[in-house]
Amino acid sequence: MVINHIGINNSILNKFIAEIRDEAIQKDSLRFRRNIERIGEILGYEFSKSIDYVTQAVKTPLGIKNIQIPAKKIVICSILRAGLPLHQGLLNYFDDAENGFISAYRHHPKKDKDFEIIVEYFAAPDMKEKTLILADPMLATGQSLIAVYEAIKKTRTIDHLHIISVVASTEGIATIKESFPANTKLWIATIDDQLNDKGYIVPGLGDAGDLAFGTKL
């Protein structure tokens, strides 16, 4: 797996990351969603530098200009519900991309810290000979991404795979490296070193889905 840690270099990305982490600012759900969306735009731009391009002749009112445009169709598949603002940020730049959605949530059968990942809903186009982006803002244990990947593989052919996340743990990255193809590319805004006993990233930012859309039962 190729890891692209975008936040390692200083840029305006730092400001958006600081605001989604700040416990006072993140309480504004509208601002939180918009900041995730902005981060998605930045990560999408960085991702765009890595894909293949072809030459297209573009006719202007005064002549013709050859311009390099993406060669393969892109499918953005986000993990519900937390992935929706990140999905929108990517879609802002790849406005002709096809879209997929998949649900994955933690189920605690014994009502304790142990959990399993349940995947229930999946809707997506054909992915053969296309570039697939899996979008999930939080890469904590990595189990959600692995479960989603395994579910997609059952009904779709994945030729080119990229993962785009906002916050990751070092443990989560190590876990998915063992389960995804070696040529998978990870685009990540920022990386934290710790997970707590509930599998949440520390210092992280909390529950991205709740911060974006409100708490759930």
| 36 within some domain | yes
What pTM does this model have?
Answer: 0.92
Number of folded domains in the chain?
1
In 47-171, DSSP assigns E strands to 53-60, 63-70, 74-80, 98-103, 105-107, 116-118, 122-123, 131-135, 138-139, 160-169
| 147 within some domain | yes
pLDDT of the chain, 217 residues: tens digit per residue: 999 999 999 999 999 999 999 999 999 999 999 999 999 999 999 999 999 999 999 999 999 999 999 999 999 999 988 999 999 999 999 999 999 999 887 665 666 566 677 888 999 999 999 999 999 999 999 999 999 999 999 999 999 999 999 999 999 999 999 999 999 999 999 999 999 988 899 999 999 999 999 987 7
| 35 within some domain | yes
Distance CA 129, CA 111 (A): 42
| 59 within some domain | no
Domain around 128: 2-51+71-213
Q: What is the DSSP letter of 73?
A: -
Contact 41, 93 (CB under 8 A): yes
CATH number at residue 193: 3.40.50.2020
| 56 within some domain | no
Contact 133, 79 (CB under 8 A): no
| 118 within some domain | yes
Distance CA 210, CA 85 (A): 12
